[in-house]
Amino acid sequence: MTERPPHDLAQRMGILALNLQNEDDRDGTLRAIVQAALDLVAGADWAGISLIHVRHCRRLDPRLVAELDQLQSDLAKARA
C-alpha cells in the first residue's frame, strides 16, 4: 500500500470541509464525517462518532465507549 503525501491529505480535508457546508442537518453532517473517515483512513473498515451532551456528562468515560463499541459489534454479529 502506498502512502499519500501530506499535501494530498490537506487537499482532501479542505474539500471535505467545503462539502460539509452543503449538509442541511446534523445527521447528514455526521454521516458525511463518518464516510470521510472511512475514505481518508487507510485500512479503516468501521467508523463512528460519540456524541457527548455536556449538560449530562462533563467528561467521557472511556469504559463507556468500549462497552458501546462491544455492544455494536455483538449486534452486528447477531444480525449476520
Asked if 66 and 74 touch (Cβ cutoff 8 Å), the reply is no
Q: For 31-56, write each residue's pLDDT tens digit.
A: 999 999 999 888 888 888 876 666 66
Residue 53 φ then ψ, to 5°: -95, 105
The set of residues, in sequence order, having a beta carbon less than 8 Å from that of 45 and lying 6+ positions away, is 38
Asked if 17 and 29 touch (Cβ cutoff 8 Å), the reply is no
Q: What is the reported pTM?
A: 0.59
Instruction: Write down the mean pLDDT value for the chain.
Output: 81
Per-residue pLDDT band for 15 (boundaries 50, 70, 90) equals very high
Please give the grid coordinates belonging to residue 69. 463499541
